[in-house]
Structures are given as structure tokens and as C-alpha cells.
Amino acid sequence: MNWIQSSNVPLTVHRTRSAAGSTGYNSIVPLKTLVQVVTQDDPTRVDRIVAALGGLSRSGTLGLFDHECVCVNDQPETNCLRELAPGDTVQVRFDPEQRYRPRPRAWKDSGFNIVHEDDHLLVVEKAAWILSVPTEGTSQPGDTSLMGRISAYLSRGGKPVSAHPAHRLDRGVSGLLVVAKSPQIAASLRDQFEARKPRRLYIAIARGRVDPPDGTIRSHLATGDDLSRYSTADHQRGQLAITHYRTLLHGADATLLEVELETGRRNQIRVHLAEKGHPVLGERRYQRRMASHPRWTARRLALHAAELEFIHPRTHVPMSFRSPLPGMFATFFGGRLAAKIARFQEARATESATEVTPADHEKNRPVGHSKDRAGGARAEPESGGRSGNTKKPAKRGGPRPRRKTGTGKTIKRRSR
């Protein structure tokens, strides 16, 4: 590697030193300057060149970028991953007696996105490809499930902290989940789900033309020897499962549904729609052959947890969160139907007058959170928390207010 140490010293640093038997004094210490012209044999990434120049650790290298000690072609460079070309000049100026600590970086995890966090719980958007909880026998150090990843996030300060699930989403399903930071908060949230108090609304693409377009599916779900779920007439063996659905869009061979859970049994939506003859696209367990579709090429279920409402177990404030449809849902329908989905999403987004704006959401984000993905979730969390305003969820047992759909028609919500 060809590099030179600059002979001229254009910059200096003043440091106060203490000498034995004397008072403090100021000395002028020159900054060390290293320069390298990139050749064909050198690494192409600038951080690797800087690390080699200074003989620095990864932490020390990142610190130099964060404190603007690196220039490329005489221009300050803060992107440590920048790719360089032969002939580019890298210059590093730093005080060799100073430790340059890297600044805290946002937590990034492709498995989840944080929508809301306070001292007691988190609301996250789960990616479709990960498990909500570890499978039996998975050790904590190697836990790549959602709970393992959130536990790693909570433990970033050095002290081990565990995440506690309040409910789950199947692998292959994306969307909103609430996760507790303590067993007590998790137990309180689970009590709410057991009492059917939280509102959970999903968006699904089902195979075929669902008829009738709106309805309720009620059955008792039992578990087979292979752990698959099925409806049974034996009420002693099965758990009561109630699913409400409403058609949003009809395609030639698929239907976009809004599905609301009254109960939250394992695989409930998937089993109910499959037994009705309209399995969720991408389904690999229930009506697998029927669920395949040439336009649905994603290796996931066409099922997304779009809305979640519950009562905060500590503050008792209503919490309401909304997650946008994944882009592949609109891509699947294409053409004018894609525009209708966009209008539907817009109508859902403006349904609440108390919904926070993206700027508010970013302003109230705790330090260390990753930014929302494009078109990220909107939330109306607890007052006095870290994120903005509140929205009271609709009460169960009574009629819900009229609202407009993306097609401009006004419909009345189903009475329970």
C-alpha cells in the first residue's frame, strides 16, 4: 500500500496538560495527516483504506468518519461505505492522542420496524419471513425469531432484556404486533386479547370471487396430529373462532378482503377462508393447490395485519395503529385496481382526524430507532408517551359509524 504522511501541518489542536509540580499549560499539538492515492491493488471501500492507513479498529475508523476527519478528493466524506476508483485521493487528519468514538447509530433490523415504543411496550411491523416466537429447542443466543431480534434491540445497552409476546402472527404474515417489555405487561395484554377487547384488522387476497361479499365465519377449530387446524362439530375438542370479512375489490380470479378477528385462534383466517373455498394466496398448508396463482410470486402469504387497537395496560389510554398495504398487494391487481387500492389506502389513512403526520412520527421517535419504510405506519398512541395523539377505538357490541371507502361510496359498518 502506498501512502505518505503529510510534511506540512496546516491544522493544530490546543490541549491543556498538567505537569508535576506545575500548573496547567497549553501546548499546540499538530494533527497527524495521512494521504493515499487509490491504486488498482487497494481496497475499493473507503473505510477499509482509512483503517489500513491509521492501523485502527472498526470503532476507531467509524469515529473518524463521524468526526469529519476523512476527505476524499479534498471533499469531506462521512459515508464510510463509499466505493472508490483508482486515482481517488483519501486524506485523514486526526489527533493521534485523541480517541474518536463513533456516534450512536440507528438500530436496523430487516425483521421488524418499530412503530411505537414507551417504557412498557413496543408496537412493531413484523416482516413476513420470520417467526413471531422461537421454535421449541431454539436457544436464546441463536434466536432469530421476532422475539429474539427485539430482545437483542432491548439489550443493546449491555444488560440482557427479554421481549415478551402478547400475541402472534404466522410466518408468512406481515404487519402489526404489540410486544411487552415485562411479564406483567404481557399478561395484562393477553388478558385483553382473551376478552376480545383489542381490534385486529387484516387485509387478505383470497383465491376466486368470494360470495357472499360480506359475512361472518363461525366454527370451532381443533388441531390435527400434524398440527394443522380444522373446523369440527365437536365443541368440546375445538375452540370457538369467529371471523368477519368484507370485500374491498373483486378481480377476475381473486378478491381483496378486509378481515376482522373477533377471536384470535392460530391460523384462524387461513383455515376459515380455505374451508370456504377461497384460500389466501401463497398458502402452503390449507388448500395449497387452489391457493397458487401465477401473478402471486412472493414467497409469503397474501395476508397483512393492517390495524391494531388496544388499551395501554399501564396508562389505560386507547392506542390505535395502522400499517399500509405492502406494495405487492397493489402490484398483484395492477391497472385501475391498483389505483383503487391506492384510494382505499388514502381513505383509511384520513379516516381519523387525530392521525399523526410523518413529521410528527419522526419527531417523536426515540433515539436509536430505524426510520419507517416508505409509506410507513401511522399511529395514534398514548398521550404522554413518546408518540403523539390518541384515538379511541370503536366499541364492540354496538353499531360503528359510517365511513367512506376508496370508491367514494358511503357504507355502514356491521353491527355486532
Catalytic sites, residue numbers: 170
H helices of 135-201, in order, are 146-154, 183-194
Q: Cβ(84)–Cβ(91) under 8 Å?
A: no
User: In sequence order, what are the residues at sequence separation of 6 or more whose Cβ sits closer than 8 angstroms to the Cβ of residue 377?
Assistant: 113, 115, 125, 176, 321, 322, 323, 324
**Residue with cell string 393477553:** 190
Using only the alpha carbons of the chain, give its radius of gyration.
Answer: 28
H helices of 137-255, in order, are 146-154, 183-194
Backbone angles phi, psi at 378, to 5 degrees: -105, 150
Q: How far apart are CA 163 and CA 115, in angstroms?
A: 16
Nearest to 90 by CA among 129, 124, 125, 61: 61
Q: Cβ(170)–Cβ(301) under 8 Å?
A: yes
Residues of 131-143 as b/e, b for ≥16 C-beta within 10 angstroms? bbebeeeeeeeeb
Q: How far apart are CA 320 and CA 254, in angstroms?
A: 29
Q: How far apart are CA 343 and CA 369, in angstroms?
A: 30
**Residue with cell string 376459515:** 272
Q: How far apart are CA 102 and CA 67, in angstroms?
A: 8
List Cα–Cα distances, 98 to 32, 95, 101, 196, 280, in angstroms.
Answer: 11, 5, 9, 58, 59
Label each residue of 278-321 as H, E or C.
CCECCCCCCCHHHHCCCCCCCCCCCEEEEEEEEECCCCCCEEEE
